[in-house]
Amino acid sequence: MNKLVLATLVVLLACPTAAEAQLLREYGIKVAYTSASLSLNYPTPPWGWWTGMKTSSKTGFNFALFAEWLNTPFFSFVTDIEYTQRGAQIVYPVPGGWWSTDGRLDYISVPLLAKFRVPVGIIDPFLVAGPRADFLVDHQGGQIYPSRIIFDDFKRATLGASVGLGVQTASTAPVTISVELRYDFDFLNSYKNSDLTIHNNALDIWIGVGL
pLDDT digits (tens, 9 = 90+) for 115-133: 999 988 889 999 999 999 9
- What integer pLDDT is reported at residue 50 of this predicted model? 52
CATH 1.10.10.10 given to domain 24-210 = no
How does pLDDT run across 7-51, given as a tens digit for each residue?
A: 333 333 344 444 455 699 999 999 999 999 988 887 665 554 455
Calculate ∠ Cα 39-40-45, nearest 5°.
Answer: 150
Domains of the chain, residue spans:
24-210
For residue 147, is pLDDT > 90? Answer: no
Tell me, what's the pLDDT at 171?
Answer: 73
pLDDT at 98 over 80: no
pTM, 2 dp: 0.82
CA-CA distances (angstroms) from residue 86 to 50, 53, 62, 109, 207? Answer: 22, 19, 9, 11, 18
Statement: residue 3 has pLDDT above 50: no
Predicted pLDDT at 145: 57
> How many Cα neighbours within 13 Å face the side chain of 132?
29
Query: If phi over 0 gives left and psi between -120 and 50 gives alpha, with beta otherwise, what is residue 52?
Result: left
55-93 tens-digit pLDDT: 789 999 999 999 999 988 899 999 999 999 998 887 777
* Rounded CA separation 134/159 (Å): 6
Which pLDDT belongs to residue 20? 53
Q: What's 29's DSSP letter?
A: E
pLDDT over 80 at 96, yes or no:
no
pLDDT averaged over every residue in the chain: 83
